[in-house]
Structure 1
Amino acid sequence: MGTGVTATPFYRARALEYLSHSTGLQLVGSKDLFEASWDMGAFMLHMGLLKRIAAKLSKIANDFRLLSSGPRGGIGEILLPALQPGSSLMPGKVNPVAAEALNQVCFYVYGMDTTVGMAAEAGQLQLNAMEPIILFSIHNAMDLMRKAVLTFTKTCVEGVQANAARCEANLTGSTAFATELVTTMGYEAAAKVVKERLAS
């Protein structure tokens, strides 16, 4: 990084060789050493991808929570493993604690993305002294997400079951078929069929 004015001519090559050997990665030097001193764009991009993954994971967790809601007043189309004795608020309910835990990790990752963004813009002129919090946030986000995915898979995904009876009841009681009727009957006629179905 920088001018390299205080280093020997071989320092950069030896540093890369050492780091490549110790990490097992094929590391290469930056083409622009001045830019590497202040531009945190690559870190922001990496953290942004982690945030995107977190958003997808959180959405999946939300789907599990919604589809398992019940036991009577919700959708109840999937049955989650019972990881707790039950709900103190609603006896007999299985709380979606694994999905809720995954949500919370994802929310925390969103915060780390904000931290990386603010640290990246906090550099001044040709330096950015905020790299420690940037690297800490990225590594922490990666570690937490890895652990959260493994835990969610083991404690929830592997044990989830379809509630076939509830799926069938929801399907047969649904008016979703009306969307397909629109192509053959038109919207107004399809809406009339749905209203008659609901009334009778």
Structure 2
Amino acid sequence: MLDETFSQRTRLRQFELVVEKKSIFVNAHYLAELSPYFKMLCFDDTFREAQNGRAEIEDEAYDEVIELLRFICPNSDYVINRNVTENNFSMLTHFSNLMQLRDLRRQLESYVENEVRMENYRPRDENLVEMITEAMNASFSPSLMDIMYQKLARIDLNHIKALIKNLPDRYAQAILEGAQKFFRVYPMQLPYRSSYSYDQFQQGIF
């Protein structure tokens, strides 16, 4: 039975990833089939990591790496559960970009195009901002970004500003500008005009 915590070395899982000083054991051959990042990291002899069978991944969270591996690797029933949601989209987008997981990237793009686009798709506001931020980092296409900006534009402007106030300026500005493209513009209310003909009035007097 497969260890879904990836905490033990097995016949297949021989390569060691160290995240937050904790060991994670993975099947290097399987990951190399998914990603040129892992192909080089695990098998390119010019890399010390490939020579040692061990790599330290810095500045990443252990729990998130485990969640990623559970997403892209088969479970104990030899089934791959790949269900993208608003809760894991940001994390998956981050790693798909960092680790060059191209098939995952295609799935995430499809999620935006086919799920986020739907009228009844209502993510939490905080999740949507995180999704947009990671999609920006991963250089999603303008058309896909616009789908998310259009969804964000349904939120009150002041609330958007509150959501992005702690982001670096370049992200906050880009998100605000992206959403503003889709804010609803209501027609200007024209002043009341009478249907009475003033020409007729003048003709009546003179």
Band of TM-score, shorter chain: under 0.3
Structure with greater strand percent: 2
**Greater relative CO, 1 or 2 (CA 8 Å, sep 6+):** 1
Structure with greater helix percent: 1
When normalised by structure 1's length, the TM-score is 0.25
When normalised by structure 2's length, the TM-score is 0.25
